[in-house]
Amino acid sequence: MRPTRAALLISVGLWLAAGCDGGQDVGGDADASPGPDAALDAAASPDAGPDVLPDAAPDTAPDTSAPGLGLDYASLPAGATPRWDAAGADWTAVPWPNDMFRDAQGRVDLSRFPTDGNDLLQAYLTYGEEALDGFGLNGSIYVELSGPVDADALPEPQVTMNDPKAVVQLVDVSPDSLDYGRQVPLRFYFYDGGDDPYYRANTLAMRPVFGFPLREATTYCALVTRGVVDRAGKHLGAAPAFAAALDTEPSLAPLRAWLPQSRLLPEDLAVATCFTTQNATVELRRVARFITERPSPTLTAIQYDKTVDAGKYYEFSGTYVAPNFQAGTKPYEASGGDFVFDATDTPVVQLDETIRFRLLVPLAAMPEAGWPIVLYGHGTGGSWKSCTTSVVPDLIAERVAVICIDQPLHGLRGDPKWNVELLSFNFLNPRAGRSGFRQAAADSFTLAHMFAERRFDMPAGTTAVKTDVAFDIDNIHYFGHSHGGLAGALLFASDPSIQGGVLSGAGGVLIETILRRKDVLDFRALASAALNADDDAFNTFHPGLSIIQLLVDATDPINYARYWLEPPPGGRAKHVFVTTGTEDAATPSVGAGYMTAAAGVPLMEPVALPSPAHVLRGLAPVAPPVGSNVVTSTGETRTAVIRQWAGGTHFVAFDVPEAREMWRNYFKAIRYGTPPVISANP
């Protein structure tokens, strides 16, 4: 029997519910989830658990051997053969994804993908054909064969990344890409056959090691060579139709252009597919530009409320009206919620929304440039008051002002009857699921722009406070927990007015969250049932999960992290401190590892959960104190590090004194106008 809509809302809506507000407001513990690939052991999938790869990436000295794999194909009996049937109607008739199914405008054709009558998956496919301009940055690639391959003989990630003659490769073939010709580290899964309605028998799935998201708007070619052997020990045969198409098929043109520069020969290829990735982050950058190129909102109300904590700080509250870009009617449970752009790619404001704020200002001599300001992003279920218990006492002590607003659908922006934990992460409605966190980031764009245009400055007499209150527009920072941490990861990639900040309870790769969360319910089991998937094959490679990831790539922090330290033109490299607990039951700690590896942010010693992606990137752990430890490609230095706490929960940033001291020290530095230094020492 199919799950009911209510059951689907529970199972899907909670997949990403990083759910909880920080500090003292709420809390909870849960056992850490096991690795996601139940069908794979740790040796076969190192980024599913704590196993580490070798201490350093293999030697990448140029290969001076003759091109080609050196196999005498004429004398070798052909083994299993990949499928290449351009006239076939099923989705793996040719390898997938494939630019054969992407038109000149970039729109992708997902109509071949099986749904097994699943309304949820069909909604994703329908919206994908409307919204996407390319394929995914983290999902799997699928190749159907005539028989089983020897999966144990497939290469390890460091080989697929560094060996120009690796028998399976995923290569950047866009000539203008910074990574042109570079190979992506891969993991593999082979589906022999069974009851899964999405896989076809004898399908090889491969995906990037999580922490290596593909570049946006970039063409990649996945190559399966005849060096792969089947279970009979025979080398793969070349797909005859592929060999015939290699010289003429338009989608393979990038492969034809790159192949002469490679260490492979055309006869080495058993099959290949070339596909172009979506421009996942461009829409949010357009929203940021739209906001900052227009006058910022003015305050509709502000008042002095009280002096708090024995005269340590002033408390102000008020409202302003900000743009909301989510189409449709709140709370977007079953429809609406997506961003809309006009014919010139300009975002269309859907609602002028009243937002309330709480502003806390130190009661002390104001610096000449004004008060440094921290924008606080609370967790799901929190409110504009959350910052007063979670971060304000520490930040006020460091002479830093703090502002807190309601997240989308919270407080005045919602209805007390709504279940914000479900609706904020509503992946039952892909339109809302794709844009809810982007709206939260847009709210922070607006808030930062208001500070930059001095909307919150209060000359003496504006309120009952008799002294000037002003803010240092060159000292705007961010602290986000859970919901706010996920939105902050997007903010750091998109807003040049933000200097940097702290992310708590944040991570990347939705697939892993689906497979690991078991704090409230077993989300893997529920998701598998919702998709009617074969439970034995429901791992990080599953086609249904790849489709969901494809749609949420536009809001997944994993795809924004690369821009924290290497921003696009006009951006600003950020100072970043990330906290995570290995027992975080809401945002799996491995996701924080993937996100920071993608950003080029190293682990701080002691390492509680080794990260294969960090090892593959050559990111060695750093010992505290950590400051100005990263040099960007433009020669700027930034402080950037992630600290893991063994046994720490979703609230480790607030519950563990050492963690609190570290992020407090981050903000102490900005008080003195120096780069942040992350240390537990005062």
- Tens digits of residue pLDDT in 424-480: 878 789 999 999 999 999 999 999 999 999 999 999 988 999 999 999 999 999 999
Instruction: Output the pLDDT for position 78.
Output: 86
Q: How sure is the predictor about 44, in pLDDT bands with cuts at 50, 70 and 90?
A: very low
Q: What is the mean pLDDT of residues 41-52?
A: 34
Backbone angles phi, psi at 569, to 5 degrees: -50, 135
Pick from 102-106, 306-310, 327-331, 617-621: least confident: 306-310
How do 313-324 and 299-308 pair as beta strands?
Answer: antiparallel
**Unique residue bearing structure tokens 């906001």:** 291
Does the pLDDT at position 155 exceed 50? yes
List, in order, residues 6 or more apart from 13 with CB less than 8 Å away: 421, 422, 423, 425, 426, 427, 428
Does the pLDDT at position 330 exceed 60? yes
Instruction: Output the pLDDT for position 65.
Output: 81
Average pLDDT of the chain?
91
Reported pTM: 0.92
Instruction: Output the pLDDT for position 288.
Output: 98
DSSP 181-245: TPBPPEEEEEE---S-SSPPSSEEEEEEPTT-PPPTT-EEEEEEETT-BBTTSPBPPPPHHHHHH
Instruction: Output the pLDDT for position 420.
Output: 86
- Tens digits of residue pLDDT in 187-240: 999 999 999 999 999 999 999 999 999 999 999 999 999 999 999 999 999 999
SS3 readout for 65-128: CCCCCCCCHHHCCCCCCECCCCCCCCCCCCCECCHHHECCCCCECCCCCCCCCCHHHHHHHHHH
Instruction: Output the pLDDT for position 3.
Output: 42
